[in-house]
Amino acid sequence: MPYSPELFERTQEIIDNRRLDAERKAEEKRAAFEKEEPQYAKNRLIMIDSMRQVFQAMSARTDTEELAVILQEMKMKNLAAQDDNRRLLREHGMAEDALDPKYTCKKCSDYGYIETKRCECFMELLRQLAFEEAGKKSPLRFSSFEEFRLDYYSETVNPDFGCSPRQRMEDILELCREYAANFDLHSQNLLMIGETGLGKTHLSLAIAGEAIRKGYGVLYNSAQNIFSELEREHFSRSAKDGEFESLIFESDLLVIDDLGAEFSTQFTNAALYNIINTRINTARPTIINTNLNLQDLEDKYTRRISSRLIGEYLSLVFFGEDIRQKKNG
């Protein structure tokens, strides 16, 4: 996936700060401890001095036998000082590594690379920042299942659906909770259909939040923002070329909110088909929310799009009255 150089820089900066921060804190802790226990500092000086002497002896090319004696002597000195420092820590009821820097990533000690290879922690953070960046244009905040209020939905049976909005929402809520709890790359695609204000956005945000907590790369945005960003990227030439598109294709979960509200053009139709198709082919789950019913979807887009949605997505049909007025009232 292509990332911009700025994003690489920002990632390295965050990781460098993690390291500096861990080392600064360790330094402070050690200074405080040494105030209480000056012998700890003395032992540390012995260690540094023994290393210096080893280095000197080696560069002075003393004869082999003599060198071996010095090395052995310094090694013993060094080990004794280390032992004594461990003893001091124990006597103060501290763990042996209590004064070591606490790195976020133990593999690379927050350098971001191991030898010449980028560490996993670097790639993970880079990815996370890219998703954050891509989601920034979305005005939505993540919501939770706990906040979802079933009591806003009417218990009057709707003859068209054979159940009440409340019953339908109980089923949908249960399904979404399970979907989120079990979310992985094998999860189904969901198509949430229904008028504005019935909770589609709330539930898809709750799923997205859960997937993020599980460590998945999630991209959530409105159809309008997604298409305009793709269009901008498509028709401009910058270093960030293709970054947003890659995130759309490669995110573990993509949520397209409010499909159908955007101004549709040939470009948006082609882009939508491409997104739906590519993600089906690469087995990456997608959730689409729309106010349009299946017939509207076919009219607005094309048959090939609506048939993929019908065939490859699990449709959740929301109905009832706009609950936002009840919330505000």
Cβ contact 318:173 at 8 Å: no
**DSSP structural state of residue 146:** T
| Closest CB to Zn ion among residues 103, 183 | 103
Furthest CA-CA distance within the chain: 100
How far is residue 251's CA from residue 153's CA, in Å, rounded to a whole number? 33
CB of 123 to Zn ion, least distance (A): 9
| Closest CB to Zn ion among residues 91, 115 | 115
CB of 103 to Zn ion, least distance (A): 8
CB of 121 to Zn ion, least distance (A): 3
| Closest CB to Zn ion among residues 121, 169 | 121
How far is residue 187's CA from residue 322's CA, in Å, rounded to a whole number? 29
CB of 250 to Zn ion, least distance (A): 22
Q: Which positions touch Zn ion (CB under 5 A)?
A: 105, 107-108, 119, 121
How far is residue 131's CA from residue 244's CA, in Å, rounded to a whole number? 9
User: How many CB atoms are located within 10 Å of the residue 148 CB?
Assistant: 17
296, 214, 207, 313: which is closest to 259 by C-alpha? 296
Amino acid residing at 270: A
